[in-house]
Amino acid sequence: MICEHEKGLEPVPARTPEGCEECLRTGSTWVHLRLCLTCGHVGCCDSSPGQHAKRHAHRESHPVIASFEPDERWAWCYVDEAMVDLPEEAMPYLR
Ligand SMILES: [Zn+2]
Ligand SMILES: [Zn+2]
Ligand SMILES: [Zn+2]
């Protein structure tokens, strides 16, 4: 499905392709990486201690993320709490 939060999204390249922005700053570790499709923030997943992707989504009101794991192609909306269609424009920015 395409949720209303995806409308008008213009995905941009990852700001910190090497890892979770907050974890890199604090020297923490993560399990999986997620890419914010609104601003290019890279955060860690809900199984990671920091849960920075989710916290970023709520704090910045940027609800739609995509997996930033190699060869994974899916997107998730934190408001709808559902898998959503991965926008074509985001493909070049995934790993
Ligand atoms: Zn949504
Ligand atoms: Zn993190
Ligand atoms: Zn964002």
Closest ligand to residue 79's CA:
1
CB 83 within 8 A of CB 74: yes
Distance CA 28, CA 50 (A): 8
Q: Which region holds residue 60: left if phi is over 0, alpha if psi is between -120 and 50, else beta?
A: alpha
List pLDDT tens digits, range 20-71: 999 999 999 999 999 999 999 999 999 999 999 999 999 999 999 999 999 9
Least confident range of 8-12, 17-21, 22-26, 78-82: 8-12
Residue 1 pLDDT level (bands cut at 50, 70, 90): confident
Distance CA 85, CA 27 (A): 33
Average pLDDT over residues 73-78: 98
Distance 79 CA to ligand 1 centre (A): 5
Residue 88 pLDDT level (bands cut at 50, 70, 90): very high
Residue 94 pLDDT level (bands cut at 50, 70, 90): very high
Best CA proximity match to 93, nearest among 26, 20, 13, 28: 13
Q: Rounded to 10 degrees, what is the CA torsion of 43, 47, 50, 54?
A: 50
Distance 34 CA to ligand 3 centre (A): 10
pLDDT, residue 19, reads 98
Distance 75 CA to ligand 2 centre (A): 18
